[in-house]
Amino acid sequence: MAEIFHFRFPKSLLGTWRSLEDDARSQYSVSIEKGKIVVTGEDYLDGEGYTISNITYDDDRVEFDTFMESTGRVGHLVLLATSDSGKAEMRFTFTDITSATKIEGC
């Protein structure tokens, strides 16, 4: 007997996505495998993969956290469906950790 899964998920977000910004190097693929939403990500210039976690979704979006081991960069991406099935809005925020040097004061 076949299992039937009902997703509250916009089918238009299934596929591989990348930003058209000049400095963007990342692409993300959204698929359904064995009844679950799967997201993968990579730097498409050098092939380094992202660790993807905390995937959530609803009627018009898929959200997930990213981690790039080589840089230590942690991010959060929201992929939003639009009325054009060939486009989506991509909102990406990241945390950058760096060292600071005191230049004056006590």
- How many structural domains comprise the chain? 1
Q: Does residue 102 lie within any of the structural domains?
A: no
* Edge-to-edge strand ranges of the sheet holding 73-81: 51-58, 61-68, 73-81, 88-95
| DSSP conformation letters of 51-96 | EEEEEEEETTEEEEEEEETTTTEEEEEEEEE-SSTT-EEEEEEEE-
Q: Does residue 47 lie within any of the structural domains?
A: yes
Domain that holds residue 34: 11-95
Q: Does residue 32 lie within any of the structural domains?
A: yes
Give pLDDT tens digits for 44-69.
Answer: 999 999 999 999 999 899 999 999 99
Q: Does residue 101 lie within any of the structural domains?
A: no
Q: Does residue 5 lie within any of the structural domains?
A: no
Q: Is the pLDDT of residue 84 over 80?
A: yes
**Cα(11)–Cα(70) distance, integer angstroms:** 32
Q: Does residue 105 lie within any of the structural domains?
A: no
Q: Does residue 63 lie within any of the structural domains?
A: yes
Q: Does residue 65 lie within any of the structural domains?
A: yes
